[in-house]
Amino acid sequence: MRLLLTGAAGQLGRAVREAGRDRCELVGVDLPDGDLTRPQDVSALLEQARPDWVLHAAAFTDVDGAETHRDEALAVNGTATALLAETCARRGTGLTFVSTDYVFAGTDPRGYDEDAPREPVNHYGLSKARGEEAVEAMTGRWQIVRTSWLFGPGPKNFVLTIRRLLAERPELSVVEDQVGCPTYAPDLAEILLFLVEAGSPGFYHATNRGSCSWFAFAREIARQSGADPQRIRPCSTAEFPTPARRPACSILRSRRLEALGYGPRPTWQDALARYLRRLESGGEGDGGSV
């Protein structure tokens, strides 16, 4: 299979490139290769690459920044995705769109199944929801894969932030009233490649197994890093207001991956351990956040 990967220089894109090295003929593109919000650039990229499938991982990912740069976020996450969907449909090319838990309201403490209604509470979530709508409406083969709380090799993620703050401060406060599913970029890359190879259309939820609060995640980072977890204190979202409202519950429940035969996913604790070993071995690498 010839696979065109957008956002190839980002955190997830680099993980997909690494995982797909021996599994497919992969063509990676990023910002220098073309503006996906321009129809002519999208057409030119697909004409040049002639892929069997497109894995669309490029995104505007600054959640708080999307509140003040709404047009840019909507153009990148909504318009560009719609153009890719139209072009893929016209060419008979499959499309996988990487989306987010933020398309949901976060008010259901049980979490969200794949067919739960979209109800974003911030502009980043709205822009990704617009992208989902465009993909869902396209004729041909499409997949929408939602994930959450991504971490992995790259210069910026929650794990690196907590480790840095533990080195700088005697105590930290981390929010306890937001719950979700931490996801390791290399594990997500394996799921995405499995889905592309399967070609089965529809919605999928792809995270590591298990859920926790940001507070519990931070304490586990401290514990596995050899720091005292008691140095991390719980606090509420109200104590740390941000420009963008966050969903209280971002748990993505999964059943469609399992129905396709995908085996048990590693727990987020196991994924964290593997990432920390990679950091200690100097395998951090670079890349952007997704």
Tell me: the pLDDT tens digits for 47-63? Answer: 999 999 999 999 999 99
Query: Has residue 248 been placed in a domain?
Result: yes
| The token pair that represents 120 in the structure block | 């974003």
Whose structure tokens read 């929408």? 144
Query: Has residue 288 been placed in a domain?
Result: no
Residue pLDDT, tens place only, 232-254: 999 999 999 999 999 999 999 99
Smallest CA-to-CA distance from 203 within 111, 116, 110, 81 is with 116
Q: Is 204 a catalytic residue?
A: no
pTM comes to 0.95
Residues sharing a CB contact under 8 Å with residue 41, sequence separation 6 or more, in sequence order? 34, 35
Question: What is the CATH classification number for the domain harbouring 135?
Answer: 3.40.50.720
Residue pLDDT, tens place only, 143-193: 999 999 999 998 899 999 999 999 999 999 999 999 999 999 999 999 999
Q: What span, in angstroms and rounded, lies between the C-alpha atoms of 110 and 116?
A: 12
Active-site residue, from 102, 124, 184, 275:
124
Q: What span, in angstroms and rounded, lies between the C-alpha atoms of 252 and 81?
A: 22
At residue 249, the pLDDT reads: 98
Arithmetic mean of pLDDT, 109-136: 98
Query: Has residue 286 been placed in a domain?
Result: no
Smallest CA-to-CA distance from 76 within 68, 91, 66 is with 66
Query: Has residue 285 been placed in a domain?
Result: no
Structural domain boundaries enclosing 70 = 2-280
Arithmetic mean of pLDDT, 196-214: 97
At residue 282, the pLDDT reads: 83
Query: Has residue 253 been placed in a domain?
Result: yes
Query: Has residue 123 been placed in a domain?
Result: yes
Reply yes or no on whether the pLDDT at 286 is more than 70.
no
Reply yes or no on whether the pLDDT at 21 is more than 60.
yes
At residue 34, the pLDDT reads: 93
Query: Has residue 229 been placed in a domain?
Result: yes
Reply yes or no on whether the pLDDT at 272 is more than 90.
yes
Query: Has residue 25 been placed in a domain?
Result: yes
| The token pair that represents 187 in the structure block | 């594990």
Domains held by the chain: number:
1
